Amino acid sequence: MKEKFEKTVNGGGKIYPYKGVWPEIAEDAFIAPGARIIGDVKIGNQSSIWFNCVLRGDVGKIRIGERSNVQDGSVLHVDSGGNDTIIGNDVLIGHMAMVHGTTIEDEGFVGFSAMTMDGSLIKKNGMLAAGSLLSPGKTVGEGEMWMGRPAKFVRELGESEFRALSKGAAKYVRTAIDYLDEYK
């Protein structure tokens, strides 16, 4: 591949254009080696994209707010039918997740190996348990936990669980700062 179609950014990950549109990455976001980010993607301050993730904003757009993390091996894509992937602030997406045409509001949580399908929505402080499958068009309500394949409502989360979720995201911000210092 010619070099002009590939740039190394913020810690070692790579960005690529699609139809002339390049990803826009905040200067203090960490993009780990092996991560590949394509096309119409914007990533906000102190967010982190970990080793071997793919974020492909070609037939739609991907937006990631501030202090959110997308953990190792996850794939984020969009739906050509108009469902973009929009991630808010302080969101945690666990290892090997698949997020497709989904909106995740602030402080939302996607457990590792979970999948979200087109038109699904995770509202603020909503949690999708590890390994779950959120079917097309389904909504995890504010502060709710959903689990299983297909995922179903299990229970409301408690205050201590909200605190644990927000600590999880904050911890990733600190770890990402350390990596960025070491790798840039």
Ligand X SMILES: CC(C)(COP(=O)(O)OP(=O)(O)OC[C@H]1O[C@@H](n2cnc3c(N)ncnc32)[C@H](O)[C@@H]1OP(=O)(O)O)[C@@H](O)C(=O)NCCC(=O)NCCS
Q: Quick one: 18 exposed, middle or buried, by C-beta within 10 A (0-12, 13-18, 19+)? A: middle
Shortest spacing between CB 96 and ligand X, in angstroms:
10
Shortest spacing between CB 80 and ligand X, in angstroms:
29
- Nearest residue (CB) to ligand X, 31 versus 93: 93
β-strand partners of 15: 7, 37
129 binds ligand X (CB under 6 A): yes
112 binds ligand X (CB under 6 A): yes
DSSP structure class, residue 115: E
Q: Is 140 left (phi over 0), alpha (psi -120 to 50) or beta?
A: beta
Q: For residues 143-182, which are near ligand X according to CB under 6 A?
A: 147-148
- Phi and psi of 152, rounded to 5°? -130, 155
Shortest spacing between CB 115 and ligand X, in angstroms:
12
51 binds ligand X (CB under 6 A): no
Which parts of this chain interact with ligand X (CB under 6 A)? Answer: 71, 94-95, 111-112, 129-131, 147-148
